[in-house]
Amino acid sequence: MQNLNIVPFVSVDNMMKLVLHVGVERVLTDLAACIEADFRRWESFDKTPRVASHSEVGVIELMPTSDGALYGFKYVNGHPRNIRAGLQTVTAFGLLAEVETGYPVLLTEMTILTALRTAAMSALAAKHLAPQGATTMAMIGNGAQAEFQALAFAAVCGVTHVRLHDIDPAATAKCQRNLAGSGLRVTPCRTAEEAMEGAQIVTTCTADKNHATILTDNMVGAGVHINAVGGDCPGKTELHRDILLRASIFVEYPPQTRIEGEIQQLPADHPVTELWQVITGAAKGRSDARQITLFDSVGFAIEDFSALRYIHDQLKAHPYSEPLDMIADPDDPRDLYGMLLRAKAKAA
């Protein structure tokens, strides 16, 4: 039984060791399965839009949820200008706790884990929404998330060919280099239009914190599945509004997506379908070969909960963590000050 006063802490180093030990593709498929299982019990979770603190340079957010037995939250930021200073655009850490005692049972880095869970979520949505037999994906935006997305779509959806484009050729070269040896056919492209040639799936994942038009209406043909990842806060979008009007739109949690997602461009009553309903069979996903499906992905706390739960379970077999003396443990729970006095006496 775990000593609840000592919390397992997964550092960046240990997260990398765990992921490499299990295997990146295996972790991605496991996370997709874990998220899918939790989406099937969607109604058992507390749900609230993330608590966001916006500034001119970025956003800092808390993403909490609970299934009644465990409580989890993630701290995450989004600062697009960080890249100019050699800093990550997105960083994160997370905590999992017992509801019964309120004691934490896991503290972990989530910068790497968020990249993995975001890619797993994208691939899970495509598994239910993309055209049957899709093998080619356009990856527009080749930053920190790109390789994870490509590998997740390969592992979960059977994608074999990725066409890359970024306004920064160095980012595309980086992505192509990192995917060498992955088994994927990788094609660098000079324009977004070129990247989309022959693609049945289009993933957009850019970092600019503005209303951008990464895809125009005339770029999107019938039957395509769009995985819109980059539009994830108020004022930040990637798709032309006319694409949304032609597409069947699927979202995680409408109260959050209407504020942060591509659909912030549409009236508040524009119809969308919650992805958990597709996964459980309560609503239809793709129903027509010519249908344009759009997963308006902003990230939701249940996905982070699934990732935290997965890591917590993995530590039982793969002990890539270190004990963190995080919770005070007085001899008498009512005598916290006495604990201080005893520490003072020992130090004297």
Task: In whole angstroms, give the CA distance from residue 9 to residue 98.
Answer: 16
DSSP letter for 236, please: B
Is 244 within 8 Å of 288 (Cβ atoms)? no
Task: In whole angstroms, give the CA distance from residue 312 to residue 306.
Answer: 10
* Residue 50 three-state SS: coil
Catalytic residue among 166, 232, 296, 304: 232
Could you tell me the two tokens for 97? Answer: 């706790």
Residue type, 190: R
Which residues, including other chains, have CB under 8 Å from residue 314's CB and lie 6 or more apart? 18, 22
* Residue 202 three-state SS: strand
Supply angle C-alpha 253, 257, 263, rounded to 5: 130
Could you tell me the two tokens for 148? Answer: 């994870």
Which residues, including other chains, have CB under 8 Å from residue 54's CB and lie 6 or more apart? 233, 234
Task: In whole angstroms, give the CA distance from residue 292 to residue 79.
Answer: 31
To the query of whether residue 38 is one of the catalytic residues in this protein, the response is no
The residues annotated as belonging to the active site are 232
